[in-house]
Amino acid sequence: MNRIYLDNAATTPLDKEVMAEMINVMENYYGNPSSIHAQGREVRTLIEKARKTVAGLLNATPAEIFFTSGGTEADNTAIRCGIAAFGIKHAITSKIEHHAVEHTLGQLLKDGVIDKLSFVNIDAKGNVDYEHLEQLLKENSRSFVSLMHANNELATLTDMEKVGDICERYEAIYHCDTVQTMGHYVHDVRKIKAHFIVCAAHKLHGPKGVGFLFVNHTVKISPMIFGGAQERNMRGGTENVYGIVGLAKALEMAYSQMEAHQTYIQELKTYMKDKLVAEIPAISFNGETDPEKSLYTVLNVSFPAMDMSDMLLFNLDINGISASGGSACSSGSNIGSHVLTAVGIDPNRPSVRFSFSKLNTKEEIDYVIEKVKHIVEQNIAV
């Protein structure tokens, strides 16, 4: 059976061109980039070339890009080190952030590093209340603001430039988790005014275990991981050279093909949404579905209450369909999605996140609709 993969928000297949680039490095460049001999220097050159590529795509300088093990490390570094650097005691976030943000801020509050953690209001679709954000900034001393660009479960987009402008007015430090949107939208760091944004390469057909943190040149932070002088004394440890080269190649390809992929994948998402409405009664969608306000790669669906709702994903799996029940980072947990809970989704209705990539087809969507319809009809609660 040929499986259908609709869990691209969790991770994406490695692009063959990216793989070829990485294999070339694995086979031919094995020196330690910290070594001063020729083999070390040529590997160092590969890393700096990748840094320059990433910086150019973001309208950043190479000195503002730091390679990490992925999005979680990048988020942790931005939050922990950003708050420490400025002695900030008040942080603002939302109740639908990724756990890499939510749990980090919660721990800093528990440890007494910050005195107060405020949650900006969100509506039933996950949209940020910008007026409330401004009110929170007015009422508190200099704050650290962490709000994601696109929610990984709801697909709802936050206006980064608007948040950046508000933060600038109140001299707040602004961190944005851009893991789900890096490579899917243009990020011009000179326009969005964020102090920190992040990337995980495996979300854009790059390798797992590598990402980067953008640190705006206007802020200076200390490292979170100590060791050698790697990453200009900002992250100890020998660099993941193959991963860094793969990341840069994946991001470069994503930018070069971005407009075509946006159009193609949005068409797939709209096609699936319309087919679900036509074939399955009482269906609803979570988060934003307006193409102007939502991430085009994600569609979150609530199905009618049914017997053995918790078996829906299993039934999809045995029919060769890979999807997710909310955030993949909660898979295997008995705890329901904190995101869906925060926006008031009925817990009695099973929800599935379908997420798309450039590799999916309408024929695959047709098969998924057929199987989903059959599963729902067989298990619908009377």
pLDDT in tens, 260-295: 999 999 999 999 999 999 999 889 999 998 999 999
Is 60 exceeded by the pLDDT of residue 331? no
User: Residue 214: in which H helix or E strand, if any?
Assistant: strand 211-215
Amino acid 309: pLDDT: 66
CA gap 144, 70 in Å, rounded: 22
Average pLDDT on 322-345 reads 72
Q: How many residues does the chain have?
A: 382
Range with the poorest average pLDDT among 180-184, 308-312, 326-330:
326-330
Name the percent of the chain lying above pLDDT 90: 89
Cβ(316)–Cβ(323) under 8 Å?
yes
Active centre residues (catalytic): 329
Tens of pLDDT along 111-135?
999 999 999 999 999 999 999 999 9
Amino acid 102: pLDDT: 97
Determine whether 367 is exposed, middle or buried from the number of CB atoms within 10 Å of its CB (0-12, 13-18, 19+). Answer: middle
Domains within the chain, CATH numbers bracketed: 4-12+257-379 (3.90.1150.10), 16-256 (3.40.640.10)
- Given pLDDT bands bounded at 50, 70 and 90, which one contains residue 64? very high
> Who has greater pLDDT, 322 or 141?
322
Could you give the 3-state DSSP secondary structure of residue 102? helix
CA gap 318, 335 in Å, rounded: 23
Tens of pLDDT along 174-228?
999 999 999 999 999 999 999 999 999 999 999 999 999 999 999 999 999 999 9
Amino acid 329: pLDDT: 39
Q: What is the DSSP string of 284-346?
A: EEES---TTTB-TTEEEEEPPPBTTGGGHHHHHHHTTEE-BSS-GGGTT-SSPPHHHHHTT--
Tens of pLDDT along 221-254?
999 999 999 999 999 999 999 999 999 999 999 9
Across the chain, mean pLDDT equals: 94
Full-model pTM? 0.95
Question: How many angstroms separate the Cα of 253 from the Cα of each of 23, 184, 246, 259, 344?
Answer: 17, 11, 11, 12, 38
- Given pLDDT bands bounded at 50, 70 and 90, which one contains residue 334? low
Structure letter (DSSP) for residue 6: -
Amino acid 325: pLDDT: 83
Nearest CA among 287, 262, 252, 291 for reference residue 356 = 262
Cβ(300)–Cβ(286) under 8 Å?
yes
Could you give the 3-state DSSP secondary structure of residue 90? strand
Structure letter (DSSP) for residue 15: P
Nearest CA among 308, 291, 296 for reference residue 354 = 296
The residues near 7 (Cβ < 8 Å, ≥ 6 apart) are 322, 323, 324, 328, 353, 355
Average pLDDT on 324-333 reads 52
Residue type, 122: I
> Who has greater pLDDT, 305 or 357?
357
The residues pairing with 294 across neighbouring beta strands, listed in sequence order, are: 156
Amino acid 332: pLDDT: 46
